[in-house]
Amino acid sequence: MMESLASADPITRGLAAAALTKGLSAVLLFDVTAEQFASFVATARSILEVTAGPVRQVTVGASESEDMLWGRYEPTNNAEGPPLLWRPGPLNAPAGTEGLVLACIPDLSQLSLPVTRSLVMLLGADVAHVERYGQRARFAPHIFWLAACSSAATARLSVHMLDRFVLRLHPPRLRQVDAVAELLLALRAEPQRIPNAPQTLSPKVEHELQQAKTRWPEFTEEGARSVIAHQLSAPRELALARLAHAFGRLDPDATQVLVSHVTTAARSIGLKPVTEQPAPEPAPPEPQAPDAPSSQKKSNDSPAAPAVAAAASTGSPSVGTTPSIEARVSENVALPAAPIAAASHPYPEDTLPSERDASPLRLPFHRAARERTLRGVILGSEPARDLRDLALVSTLFEAAKFRAVREQLSKDGERPLFLAPVDLRSYRRAPSPEQALVLLLDYTSLDGCQWLEALLPHLKWAYVERATVCLIQVGAAAARHSLRAERRVFASVLVPALAEALELGAGQATPLAHGLELARQTLQHVLQHGRHSAQRARLVVVSDGRGNVPLAASMAGEITGPVSRGGVMDALRSAERLRAIDRREIVFLNPEPRAYPELPLTLARALGAEPRPIARLTQRKVAL
Amino acid sequence: MDKVDKSLGADAIHILPYSRIVGQEQLKLALELSYVAPHIGGALIVGQRGTAKSTAVRAFALMVYGDLPVTLPINATEDRVIGGWDIDALMRGQARPQPGLLEEADGRVLYIDEVNLLDDHIINLILDVTSTGVLSKQREGLAANKQVAFTLVGTMNPEEGSLRPQLLDRFGLLVGVSAEKDPEKRSQILRTVLEFDKALHAVRSKQNSEFLSQGMAKDRELRESLQRARDSLDAVVFSKDMAALCIALAAEFEVEGHRGDYVTASAARALAAIEGSKAVTAQHVRQVAPLALSHRRREFLASGQWFWSAKEEARLDKHVSR
């Protein structure tokens, strides 16, 4: 049982603040385990039941479709009534439905494209519209969103969607419990005992929340200035202000929202405190609220005193704010339960190298010049243009709508389900790459040649074919292990991280044999594995053939004996194995090195490819 | 469609009053011009999240029409866009057509939020109607043609991709909005939003909000003023010199097609009407030209990157001052 909000962890306090403020009702939890997430969902539900009344919990999973989210027609068993009845989606309940929806997303990074697009429409919106299958609805979304995601995965997600999660929280980084005891307890417990029942709040916490609901402290001029001083984008600035305001509401002694509340709010989401520029003229001391004597007492306490820490944790303000937020932090506003580390940045997508598509929220293009894809993940259904890949259930539903009208035309008085050509529906599918480009780039062989120009036709081919791209990096400067090649996969050539990966400089060693082995495994995988395997692959190898790491050394991660020609010979053997794979085209681009010019030609022969020379840079270009 | 719910329940739709929106003067200007002169063809508003794009459009429609705009969401199915059968009636054996959003928006604003995320197929339907002015329904046993005209207003975040040139051209004006940089203005925005939060808290607690009532009073004044401008539009004199200036500016900025000079002239006239001027001046043309021309330039259409910098402003000044 949670005894008081002051003693609760930062996420629980953040959830309490969000539950009080409609503008904060989209919360993203970073790097939490499934058990932690379930526990925070239970906590959020308990809090929301106090602040908002009845709560209806909905889980939004990876497999949801637009029809499941927004509503669909479902068959009825009533022989006399209509064959289908409209069932609204879980997030757009019909008008008059009581209660707040608590929408839980266990893993934001696993959501399908239709669901992600739906989130963009709903998150933080004043009003949402549904216009589907003859049905329409207009409503103010009354939804509290609680999602989990690894901070690293934000590099792949739409920034537009992430922006809508206004409150970002990290779990406590330091384990406060005995890890051994916790492990032993977990082993004794039933496997399915995940804490998903609503967590009980103590009467004191309920009282704190009830009081906060009625309180509305005003923002001070200094408080607003300190929000602006964080130099955030407009939505983030507003989120910080609202969080500070919510902390002010949770503070029983606060009559105003002060700099200390802003600082507490900033630290609770992991923002580094900033030092505000001195005000143009000396700021007058905050007027002391007559009913807030405890605030002053707290501000005069020693920073190390436990009472101060408790006050800070609830955002209790102090009288006479100083212009420096940093100074304020050092005085009394450190959160006791969870020291915020630099890694707990609330906006990791700002700093991580982008791995997302150029337009991650757009539906796949219809390409008239090419046949409709019959593979790929199902996104929904659409009127059929031919008889392939029919969506049978959708087709029957479509016919059922017209059943009453068509049966009037039936002469024998029976009620068969007539299917007309206009009813036929086929699946709409996400494009599944039909082609793959595997690019083996030996970074140690690129000096002095126009390798990027030579690659361009193949990158263009990958763009036109919407091919998936796999880059095998051999001897790259940033390799995690210099004796090993590395493989990186990109959904398409439009992923910005591909350009960055191509531009890495040369490293110390050339594990060419390992690179060719990775290329072989990749080709086998993309051509032979899974339901969505590619139909054809193009392997482009750029190398001078001077491998200097034997395959065994790459596997072991260390060189144990003399290398001699081991690296070169292993590379040739790997190339011959690679040659045996079907449905692939191999292109060999020869940098034409001055030393050992025969080596790339030998490697090309082993691959069964015609070597194509790469133009050398001119003296002038080299000088530039 | 139901009017906006003004009840006090948690599910009620609440929009910040239009006159309470701080800054974003160009965005407001584009909306007002499109209302005063509907033949301009509406506006596309491009900007990052948090720049009050959607709020401004909804608040404006609420102010001038007393209701939210007819909205085409990105989840819309084809039958709801162009119209189809009333499915519930159909299942009872009654064939009753149901008008779509394009028909419903006739004579009003059709608002598309996240317009760049709209399905290609739906875009094609809109292009058909906006280019011909005729809504053709030939599907599922329906066969009907109807004349429709609506003001197209779209908002989009450029991070999610650009629009096809054909659709872009359907928007009379384009406004690029960005977040305010001036700390004083940002502070003012922050305070306004927090005041609005407070007002909603008061409304939910069944108390009156002066912030809202004052805002709505100012909205009424502005609506009347815009209505006067709309009524007086045809009386505003548009001289040959001004027509020549509009054409020259379109040529100067290498604008594709002829809509650029026409929209510039219409918008300048609407601006003059709003300001109560009897005739369009070069300054009116100067003020609206970026809104009408920027998205029709060849450079923009080739690159997909909208920009209008101080360099373009200087070119405009130089040309207008001749």
Would you call A362 an interface residue with chain B, using a CB distance cutoff of 8 Å? yes
Check whether A146 has a pLDDT greater than 90: yes
Confidence of residue A302 (pLDDT cuts 50, 70, 90): very low
Confidence of residue A325 (pLDDT cuts 50, 70, 90): very low
Please answer whether residues A94 and A46 qualify as being in contact, where contact means their C-beta atoms are separated by less than 8 angstroms: no
DSSP letters, A433-468, are -SEEEEEEEEGGG-TTB-HHHHHHHHHHHHHHTT-E
Q: Decide the pairing of beta strands A135-139 and A218-219.
A: unpaired
Check whether A63 has a pLDDT greater than 70: yes
Least confident of A139-153, B100-114, B308-322: B308-322
Mutation to test the B interface, candidates A402, A426, A492, A494, most B Cβ within 10 Å = A402
Would you call B281 an interface residue with chain A, using a CB distance cutoff of 8 Å? no
pLDDT reported for residue A530: 57
Q: Provide, as residue numbers in chain B, all residues whose Cβ is less than 8 Å from the Cβ of A135.
A: 87
Confidence of residue A316 (pLDDT cuts 50, 70, 90): very low
Would you call A596 an interface residue with chain B, using a CB distance cutoff of 8 Å? no
Which residue among A120, A140, A227 sits closest to B11, beta carbon to beta carbon? A140
Separation in Å, CA of A99 to nearest CA in chain B? 9
Would you call A118 an interface residue with chain B, using a CB distance cutoff of 8 Å? yes
Give per-residue pLDDT as tens, A197-243.
Answer: 556 788 899 999 999 999 999 999 999 989 999 989 889 999 999 99
pLDDT reported for residue B303: 59
Q: Taking CA atoms, what residue in B is nearest to A143?
A: B11
Please indicate whether, in this complex, the C-beta atoms of A136 and B58 are within 8 angstroms of each other. Answer: no
Decide which of B198 and A428 is more confident. Answer: B198
Give per-residue pLDDT as tens, B27-36.
Answer: 999 999 999 9
Please indicate whether, in this complex, the C-beta atoms of B73 and A138 are within 8 angstroms of each other. Answer: no
Which residue among A82, A121, A237 sits closest to B75, beta carbon to beta carbon? A121
Spatial neighbors of A48 by CB under 8 A, at least 6 apart, are A19, A55, A100, A102, A144
Would you call A163 an interface residue with chain B, using a CB distance cutoff of 8 Å? yes
Rounded Cα gap, residues A103 and B79, in angstroms: 29
Would you call A402 an interface residue with chain B, using a CB distance cutoff of 8 Å? yes
Q: Which of residues 69-88 of A touch B (CB under 8 A)?
A: 70, 73, 82-84, 86
Least confident of A145-154, A280-289, B133-142: A280-289
pLDDT reported for residue A288: 38
The reported pTM is 0.74
Rounded Cα gap, residues A411 and A395, in angstroms: 24
Spatial neighbors of A589 by CB under 8 A, at least 6 apart, are A451, A454, A455, A540, A541, A542, A611, A612, A614
Rounded Cα gap, residues A619 and A608, in angstroms: 33
Decide which of A256 and A623 is more confident. Answer: A256
pLDDT reported for residue A332: 33
Decide which of A336 and B107 is more confident. Answer: B107
Rounded Cα gap, residues A45 and A108, in angstroms: 19
Check whether A278 has a pLDDT greater than 50: no
Active site residues of B: 259
pLDDT reported for residue A280: 44
Rounded Cα gap, residues A230 and A262, in angstroms: 10
Rounded Cα gap, residues B148 and B101, in angstroms: 11
Please answer whether residues A405 and A506 qualify as being in contact, where contact means their C-beta atoms are separated by less than 8 angstroms: no
Q: Provide, as residue numbers in chain A, all residues whose Cβ is less than 8 Å from the Cβ of B179.
A: 233-234
User: Which range, A168-182, A292-306, B165-179, B237-251, has the best average confidence (pLDDT)?
Assistant: B237-251
Confidence of residue B160 (pLDDT cuts 50, 70, 90): confident
Give per-residue pLDDT as tens, A356-387.
Answer: 776 778 776 554 445 556 666 677 788 888 88
Q: How far is CA B79 from CA A584, B120, B251, in A?
A: 44, 15, 42
pLDDT reported for residue A317: 33
Rounded mean pLDDT of chain A? 79
Range list of H helices, chain B: 25-36, 53-65, 78-82, 87-91, 101-104, 120-132, 165-170, 183-204, 210-232, 240-252, 259-275, 282-293, 298-303, 310-321
Q: Which residues pair with B84 in a beta bridge?
A: B98
